[in-house]
C-alpha cells in the first residue's frame, strides 16, 4: 500500500505539524526551533467517492435539525467522579479524548484505573499498549487493586492490527497507551512522527464516531520535540486533558484544555498514593494546608477553576537586587500579567520596584490564568515590599486595570461561599460585585474596593 507513486518528501514540524518542501530551522507556524523532520507525504486515500463523507462514512445528506437525537442523556459515569468532572460530567459515547502529560506523571496509572472501573460497569474494555508488556500492566493493575473481569490487554503497535482486534472483540471503550507508539502501515514515516500520530488519531476518530464508543489516547508531552507532541492532535480530538504542574508534588491536577462536550478549564485533583490516584475531596484545604502563618508576601485568592472555586495561596518575594535591574520570575502565573501589574504599581502608587528582584509563586503547583487573581498578585507584591503580613483569614480577588481600578469578576458568590466554608472572615473584592450578591448570613465581612489604593488601605 505504501509505495504509491504520489508520495513525496516533505519536512514536517514535530510540534505543530506545519509542512514545508524544504528543511527549516524555525517553524513559521508555531515558532519552535529544530522541529523539522523528513517525512513522506501521505498518499491520498480518498479516491473512492463513496468514502469521502465525514468520518469515512458513505456520503452524507442534510438532516433535519429537529430529527436529530439529543445525546446529552447518554453520558456515562466512568466510576471515578473526579475524572467525570474533568470530562464535563461523564464519558460521551463516540468521543475521542486525548490525555497528555510528561512521562512518569501518571497517565497510565489513571487510565488503568479508568479501564478497571469502566470494565466493571460497562463490559469489555480494550487497553492497547505499545509501551508496556501485558505483565507490566497486570503488575500495575494488581497494585491498584483492579479486578476488572472485562478488561482486555493488547500489546500491539500496528494500527491495522489493532483495528482488526477491535472488530473481533467489540469493546465498549478503548484506551491507547500511547498514541506515539502506534503506527499505520499506510505511511512510511516513523512511529511518533506528526503524520503517523495524526493518521492514527484520525483512524481512531472514525472508529469512535462509527461505533459510538469512547476512545482515549494517551500522548506524551516531550520537550525536545522528537516525538510529535499532543499539540499536533488538539484539533482532531474532541477533548484534551493535560496533567498540569510538576510530578514532584504528591497531587496531580488534570485540566480539560479543550472540550467539545463540556466546559473547558475544568480540573480534577488527585493524590498519587501507593494504590494509584485518589481523588482529593477538598482541594482548597489541600492547597492551604502548608500555608505559613503571619508571613509577609503570602495571600489567599479565590480562583475559579472550571466550575469550581478553589482557594489558593499566592506568594511574593520582593528583595533588593544585587545588580542594577531586578530579576522577575513567576511560577504558576503569567509573567506578562505580573509585569503589567508591577508597571501599574510603579506609576499609580509610586512604588519603586525597578531595582528589586520580584518572585511570584502559586503554592501547590496549580496554574492560575484568570484576571480575578490580579488583586491577589498586587496584594502579595505590596505585602512583601512593605514587609507587612496580610491577615490570614482574609481572602482577596478582583481584576485590576492599568489605571489601578479594580474591576468586577465572575461568580463572586461561589468564591465567597468557598471562603466561608474554609473559615475565612473577611473578603476584599470589587465594589461592583457587591451590588449583585445575594444576602450572605455567614459572618463574612465584605470589603468592596474600587481601586488598588483602596484595597491596600483595607489590607494593611
Residue (18 or 270) nearer to ligand TYD, CB:
270
Q: Which residue's Cβ lies closest to Mg ion?
A: 108
Q: Binding partner of residue 272 among Mg ion, ligand TYD, none, CB under 5 to 8 Å per kind? A: ligand TYD
Q: Which residue's Cβ lies closest to ligand TYD?
A: 108
Q: In what order do the strands lie in the sheet with 308-320?
A: 328-331, 356-362, 308-320, 298-305, 394-396, 426-430, 445-449
Residue in 21, 37, 214 with CA at minimum distance from that of residue 124: 214
Q: Cβ of 450: how many Cβ atoms within 10 Å?
A: 15
Instruction: Enter the C-alpha cell of residue 406.
Output: 479594580
Q: What burial class does residue 138 get, using C-beta atoms within 10 Å of its C-beta: 0-12 exposed, 13-18 middle, 19+ buried?
A: middle
Q: Strand, helix or coil at 354?
A: coil
DSSP label of 291: P
Q: Which stretch binds ligand TYD (CB under 6 A): 104-112, 252-260, 280-288, 316-324?
A: 104-112
Residue 108 in the binding site for ligand TYD (CB under 6 A)? yes
Residue 280 Cβ, how far from ligand TYD at the closest point, in Å? Answer: 15
Q: Which stretch binds ligand TYD (CB under 6 A): 46-54, 98-106, 157-165, 192-200?
A: 98-106
| Residue in 21, 31, 53, 104 binding ligand TYD, rule: CB under 6 A | 104
Residue (260 or 275) nearer to ligand TYD, CB:
275
User: Which residues on neighbouring strands pair with residue 255, listed in sequence order?
Assistant: 242, 267
Q: What is the C-alpha to C-alpha distance for residues 450 and 432, in angstroms, rounded to an integer?
A: 8
Residue 184 in the binding site for Mg ion (CB under 5 A)? no
Instruction: Enter the C-alpha cell of residue 116.
Output: 478497571
> Strand ranges (DSSP E) for 321-441?
328-331, 356-362, 394-396, 399-400, 406-407, 426-430
Instruction: Enter the C-alpha cell of residue 358.
Output: 520580584
Long-range contacts made by residues 71-78, C-beta under 8 angstroms, separation at least 24? 75/261, 76/121, 76/122, 77/121, 78/114, 78/117, 78/118
| Residue in 15, 78, 95, 109 binding ligand TYD, rule: CB under 6 A | 109
Q: Binding partner of residue 101 among Mg ion, ligand TYD, none, CB under 5 to 8 Å per kind? A: ligand TYD
Residue (272 or 434) nearer to ligand TYD, CB:
272
Q: How far is CA 319 from the centre of its chain?
A: 33
Q: Binding partner of residue 275 among Mg ion, ligand TYD, none, CB under 5 to 8 Å per kind? A: ligand TYD
Residue in 421, 401, 418, 419 with CA at minimum distance from that of residue 409: 401
Residue 389 Cβ, how far from ligand TYD at the closest point, in Å? Answer: 36
| Residue in 108, 189, 298, 433 binding Mg ion, rule: CB under 5 A | 108
- CA triplet 105, 112, 129: central angle to 5 degrees? 85
Q: What is the C-alpha to C-alpha distance for residues 8 and 187, in angstroms, rounded to an integer?
A: 11
Residue 43 Cβ, how far from Mg ion at the closest point, in Å? Answer: 32
- Report the site for ligand TYD in 129-188 (rule: CB under 6 A): 140, 143-144
User: Which residues on neighbouring strands pair with residue 91, listed in sequence order?
Assistant: 76
Residue (99 or 267) nearer to Mg ion, CB:
99
Residue (280 or 422) nearer to ligand TYD, CB:
280
Residue 51 in the binding site for ligand TYD (CB under 6 A)? no
Residue (108 or 193) nearer to ligand TYD, CB:
108
- Report the site for ligand TYD in 252-281 (rule: CB under 6 A): 272, 274-276
Angle between helices 335-349 and 374-386 (to 10 degrees): 60
Instruction: Enter the C-alpha cell of residue 333.
Output: 502565573
Q: Binding partner of residue 150 among ligand TYD, Mg ion, none, CB under 5 to 8 Å per kind? A: none
- Strands 251-259 and 267-273, sheet pairing: antiparallel
Residue (101 or 364) nearer to ligand TYD, CB:
101
Residue 365 Cβ, how far from ligand TYD at the closest point, in Å? Answer: 16
- Strands 406-407 and 399-400, sheet pairing: antiparallel
Residue 218 Cβ, how far from ligand TYD at the closest point, in Å? Answer: 7
Residue (249 or 275) nearer to ligand TYD, CB:
275
| Residue in 53, 103, 170, 355 binding ligand TYD, rule: CB under 6 A | 103
Residues lying near Mg ion in the complex (CB under 5 A) are found at: 108
Residues lying near ligand TYD in the complex (CB under 6 A) are found at: 101, 103-109, 140, 143-144, 272, 274-276
Amino acid at each position: 500500500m505504501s509505495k504509491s507513486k504520489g508520495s513525496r518528501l516533505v519536512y514536517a514540524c514535530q510540534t505543530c505539524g506545519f509542512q514545508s518542501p524544504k528543511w527549516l530551522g524555525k517553524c513559521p507556524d508555531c515558532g519552535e526551533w529544530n522541529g523539522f523532520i523528513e517525512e513522506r507525504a501521505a498518499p491520498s486515500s480518498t479516491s473512492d467517492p463513496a468514502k469521502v463523507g465525514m468520518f469515512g462514512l458513505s456520503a452524507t445528506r442534510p438532516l433535519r435539525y429537529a430529527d436529530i437525537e439529543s445525546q446529552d442523556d447518554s453520558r456515562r459515569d466512568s466510576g471515578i467522579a473526579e475524572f467525570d468532572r474533568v470530562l464535563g460530567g461523564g464519558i460521551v459515547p463516540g468521543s475521542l479524548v486525548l490525555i497528555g502529560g510528561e512521562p512518569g506523571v501518571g497517565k497510565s496509572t489513571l487510565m488503568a484505573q479508568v479501564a478497571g472501573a469502566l470494565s466493571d460497569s460497562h463490559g469489555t474494555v480494550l487497553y492497547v499498549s505499545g509501551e508496556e508488556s501485558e505483565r507490566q500492566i497486570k503488575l500495575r493493575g494488581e497494585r491498584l487493586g483492579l479486578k476488572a473481569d472485562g478488561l482486555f490487554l493488547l500489546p500491539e503497535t500496528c494500527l491495522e492490527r489493532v483495528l482488526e482486534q477491535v472488530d473481533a472483540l467489540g469493546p465498549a471503550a478503548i484506551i491507547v497507551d500511547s498514541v506515539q507508539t502506534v503506527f499505520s502501515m499506510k505511511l512510511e514515516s516513523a512511529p511518533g512522527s506528526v503524520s503517523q500520530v495524526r493518521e492514527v488519531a484520525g483512524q481512531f476518530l472514525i472508529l469512535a464516531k462509527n461505533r459510538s464508543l469512547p476512545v482515549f489516547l494517551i500522548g506524551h508531552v516531550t520537550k525536545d520535540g522528537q516525538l510529535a507532541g499532543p499539540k499536533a492532535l488538539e484539533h482532531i480530538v474532541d477533548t484534551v486533558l493535560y496533567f498540569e504542574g510538576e510530578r514532584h508534588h504528591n497531587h496531580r491536577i488534570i485540566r480539560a484544555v479543550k472540550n467539545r462536550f463540556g466546559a473547558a478549564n475544568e480540573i480534577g485533583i488527585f493524590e498519587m498514593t501507593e494504590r494509584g490516584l485518589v481523588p482529593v475531596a477538598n482541594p482548597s484545604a489541600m492547597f492551604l494546608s502548608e500555608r505559613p502563618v503571619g508571613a509577609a508576601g503570602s495571600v489567599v485568592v479565590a480562583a475559579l477553576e472550571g466550575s469550581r472555586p478553589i482557594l489558593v495561596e499566592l506568594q511574593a518575594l520582593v528583595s533588593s537586587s544585587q545588580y542594577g535591574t531586578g530579576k522577575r520570575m513567576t511560577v504558576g502565573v503569567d509573567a506578562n500579567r505580573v509585569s503589567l501589574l508591577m508597571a501599574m504599581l510603579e506609576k499609580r502608587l509610586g512604588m519603586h520596584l525597578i531595582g528589586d528582584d520580584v518572585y511570584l509563586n502559586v503554592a501547590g503547583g496549580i496554574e492560575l490564568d484568570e484576571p480575578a487573581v490580579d488583586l491577589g498578585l498586587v496584594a502579595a507584591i505590596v505585602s512583601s515590599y512593605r514587609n507587612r503580613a496580610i491577615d490570614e483569614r482574609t481572602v482577596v480577588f478582583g481584576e485590576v486595570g492599568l489605571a489601578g481600578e479594580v474591576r468586577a469578576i465572575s461568580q463572586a458568590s461561589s468564591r465567597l461561599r468557598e471562603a466561608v466554608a474554609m473559615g475565612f472572615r473577611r473578603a476584599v473584592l470589587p465594589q461592583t460585585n457587591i451590588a449583585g450578591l445575594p444576602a450572605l448570613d455567614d459572618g463574612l465581612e465584605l470589603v468592596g474596593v474600587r481601586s488598588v489604593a483602596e484595597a491596600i488601605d483595607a489590607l494593611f
